Structure 1
Amino acid sequence: MPRYLKKATPKTFADSAQHDVSDRVRSIIDDIRARGETAVREYSATFDRWEPDSFRLSDARIAELVDSLPRQVIDDIAFVQEQVRNFALAQRASLTDVEVETLPGVRLGHRHVPIEAVGAYIPGGKYPLTASAHMTIVTAKAAGVPRVVACTPPIRGEIPAATVAAMKMAGADEIYLLGGVQAVASMAVGTDFMAPVNLIAGPGNAYVAEAKRQLYGEVGIDLFAGPTEILVIADETADPFTTAVDLLSQAEHGPDSPAVLVTTSEALADEVARLIDRILPGMPTKDFAEPAWRDHGQIIVCDDMDELWRVGDSLASEHVQVFTADPRQALDRMRNYGALFLGENTCVSYGDKVIGTNHVLPTLGAARYTGGLWVGKYLKTVTYQEVLNDDSSADLGRVCGRAARVELFEGHARSGDVRAWRHGGEQFAWIEEVVGEGQPA
């Protein structure tokens, strides 16, 4: 039975349902629907102290911002985006169109069609998350999305040049300095200065997440995002210092970010706890990491490897690092996770920033039923049907008529009857009443 050396109550979606947030977001969205750009400008001024002549950045202004950055920053953005793009293109290549002949002359198929317009939200509150531009925009363009609208807020009244550069280099077609609920609502419902999009992707704070939740259905979304999570699964071979550092690397996202260690080694667990207590006081981001570890950190010791895998899988964590003698066992032993990071040579921070997989991932247990953002999220898999053979159409018409009448759908049945009459010589009283006896010409 697992033993908790440090225990916390797991966070759930119910924890994120804050009525004050929900009510405030609803009122902002309703106001933007009613008053359009005027309302957007008022909220931007109130929340971000940002009242430009135009929220959209011109090509010339974008070029100035890109040119203002050190060459190394541009080179690093280009490197990371190449990794994201290459993996997204490989994913896209795995999605092939299908056409099969199921009966003589009956063709069924599907095609993967890019969504026409996508909105990418790039956060900018506590941190300027340039990496979110790579994950949302590069991946959308790899899917073939023709129009990508990108929004990011100003930071303390200033334009985040590196974020704008990342958005431009990623392939954004329109870039707006606009944040929060007002950005999400503008993308979803449209305003005088922005045509609406069909899907919105990207992380954000509780208000942004709630706006996406309320607008879902009117537009698509990538997923409902909660606080960042990390789970480290480790046996006695794991390095305690690396483990402690990696747990805190994700705790710094915010004071409500869970960091969990599940291990078969009590000695490792004790040493990790000791090291975390030593590292935390000197962390520049301890204001977030310290309460996250204090309130949401867990250390769980398991009796054996079977229990280790069961407990780890039951947590359905967003990020799972595997520090065991054979980390690739996780590929067979686990099903519920947003992303796996196998072995001590990799870490969640690589996934967040540089390695090429997408960092927009399910949280709060959603990994039980979904993966994260990927190129397929920007595609609609749509089907088509074609019947070229008259005999097959007549056969399907006969079955359709019988099946539809079982369900009392007479109109459906009659569509089948027409094909059975036209191509198969069947006689139907209702057809004779309309067109007379005999066969069609």
Structure 2
Amino acid sequence: MRYLKQATKSAEGNSREARAVVEQMLEDIRAGREDTVRALARKFDKWEQEFILSDAKREELIAMVPESVKRDLEFAHRQVAGFAKAQRESIGEFATEVTPGVVLGQRIVPMDVAGCYVPGGRFAHACSAIMSVATAKAAGVPFIVAATPPRGEHIDPATCYAMHISGADIILEMGGVQAIASMAYGLFTGKPANILVGPGNAYVAEAKALLSGSGLCGIDVFAGPTESGIIAEGTADPMTVAIDLVSQAEHGYNSPVWLFTTSEELGNKVLELMPKLCADMPNPDVPLSAWRDYGEIVLCDDREEMAAVSDHYAPEHIQVMAGDLDWWRARLRCYGSLFLGEGSTVPHGDKCSGTNHILPTRKAACYSGGLNVHKFLKICTYQHIDPDKNDVIGGTASRLSRVEGMEGHARACDWRLRKFYPGREWDFPVYEHPAY
């Protein structure tokens, strides 16, 4: 492989500066709780109102949303909720007897409370509300708290409607680290979240990581800057490739976009088109900077090398514009979400096709998928062992406990062997205390 264009910078989603700031904020919130959150909201959002959105205000905001927007959000909700429901149905409870009399089983237990963060900086992320809240609802989470930053005197009305139709029990007009901490600690709601999900800026990401690392709750993924790759053979349309790369560079100044191709002609044409398409955007500086600093075009020898390079990058999103799509679906292994064929573009998944757009970045796709119903579920195992099967299970467990040097474990097994099989002789040492 060789580069027709190589990035000049490396996107960093976990800065020491952001972490230090967030650590102090979380420490302050732990100490001052609701009072500290109110002070932070005044400082960052000029917010003096109540944080929990009232039913009356919710209705007022919903009334502001045009009917055409409501219909589109309802379509997106049907798609996302329908896919999430199918995911939930793909995993079930069961019981099995590998050895007769030894019943082993699996229960599926939803989290009690989910905290769903919906960013609201440069963009109003109404679709992100659906991705998190509707997925938690499909998983069976009984109580969902959603938070999004206010814009002036209220949160974005379309985002409010998306949260509403997706099933949010409480909506917080609150953003940033203070929103993440409030959901984790159950501030204002009395409902601490078992899991925090949803994208956000570097400070939000650090807050989620720190709270998760403290053992307080789980999180979905550590979200760094949005990233997207395209695999394209020489038959691909350069304009389609370029316009899709620009669509993802729009996310931010540090959003990487990559093209992996076997065609130098295609790569050079995309290289020519990118500055022109970026310059034609409403806010051209963002995609131009992202492309200049983080964009790459990688020239590969064949499709196997393209697949290997893509898996090495482990993109949050990967599009394939090539022949034999079944081969690509089977071959690619490291990505957040896969978009096959020219008819599929990342914005379809970002908005309404149905797959979740809260996805792993910064190579986390090497070991994790994106947000899905399973993230909101605990898979709990159980066992019931008949007393008359303790000669098999208990004997083996006793011997293995002593292999590991754990005498107390062995004696718990030995007691049952003595209790359930009185007078039986064993061909291995079985402890018998005088108190037996």
Structure 1 position 418, deviation (Å):
1.5
The one-letter amino acid paired with 1:434 is A
Q: Partner of 1:16: helix, strand, or coil? A: coil
TM-score normalised over the length of structure 2: 0.95
For residue 300 of structure 2, the aligned residue among 299, 302, 313 is 302
1:29 aligns with 2:26: yes
Q: Tell me if the contact between 1:338 and 1:371 (Cα under 8 Å) persists in the aligned partners.
A: yes
- Distance in 2 between the 1:410 and 1:184 partners? 45
The one-letter amino acid paired with 1:341 is F
For residue 72 of structure 2, the aligned residue among 63, 73, 76 is 76
- Distance in 1 between the 2:9 and 2:431 partners? 63
The one-letter amino acid paired with 2:116 is A
1:424 aligns with 2:425: no
Can you list the C-alpha shifts for 1:32-79, whole angstroms capped at 9, x where unaligned? 111111100000111111110x20011121112112211111111111
Matched ranges for 1:274-293 at <5 A: 274-293=272-291
TM-score normalised over the length of structure 1: 0.94
Q: Partner of 2:391: helix, strand, or coil? A: helix
CA-atom RMSD in angstroms: 1.5
Q: Partner of 2:51: helix, strand, or coil? A: coil
- Distance in 2 between the 1:89 and 1:182 partners? 31
The one-letter amino acid paired with 1:185 is A
Partner of 1:134: 130
- Distance in 2 between the 1:124 and 1:72 partners? 21
Q: Tell me if the contact between 2:13 and 2:225 (Cα under 8 Å) persists in the aligned partners.
A: no
The one-letter amino acid paired with 1:261 is L
For residue 392 of structure 1, the aligned residue among 378, 389, 395 is 389
Partner of 2:246: 248
Q: Which runs of 5+ in 2 are unaligned?
A: none
Can you list the C-alpha shifts for 1:381-410, whole angstroms capped at 9, x where unaligned? 11000013x321233222222221222222
Can you list the C-alpha shifts for 1:337-395, whole angstroms capped at 9, x where unaligned? 1111000101000010010000011111111111101111110111000013x321233
Q: Kindly tell me: are residues 29 and 363 of structure 1, through their superposed partners in 2, closer, same or farther at Cα, counting changes over 3 Å?
A: same
For residue 155 of structure 1, the aligned residue among 151, 154, 160 is 151
Q: Partner of 2:105: helix, strand, or coil? A: strand
- Distance in 2 between the 1:234 and 1:424 partners? 69
Q: Tell me if the contact between 1:254 and 1:288 (Cα under 8 Å) persists in the aligned partners.
A: yes
Partner of 1:3: 2
Q: Partner of 1:433: helix, strand, or coil? A: coil
The one-letter amino acid paired with 1:405 is R
For residue 101 of structure 1, the aligned residue among 97, 100, 103 is 97
1:233 aligns with 2:231: yes
Name segments (4+ residues, structure 1) moved above 6 Å.
none
- Distance in 2 between the 1:253 and 1:157 partners? 25
- Distance in 1 between the 2:104 and 2:325 partners? 42
Aligned pair count reads: 430
The one-letter amino acid paired with 2:24 is S
Q: Tell me if the contact between 2:414 and 2:431 (Cα under 8 Å) persists in the aligned partners.
A: no
Q: Kindly tell me: are residues 263 and 249 of structure 1, through their superposed partners in 2, closer, same or farther at Cα, counting changes over 3 Å?
A: same
- Distance in 2 between the 1:200 and 1:292 partners? 29
Q: Tell me if the contact between 1:114 and 1:143 (Cα under 8 Å) persists in the aligned partners.
A: yes
For residue 184 of structure 2, the aligned residue among 188, 191, 204 is 188
Structure 1 position 148, deviation (Å):
0.5
For residue 206 of structure 1, the aligned residue among 195, 199, 202 is 202
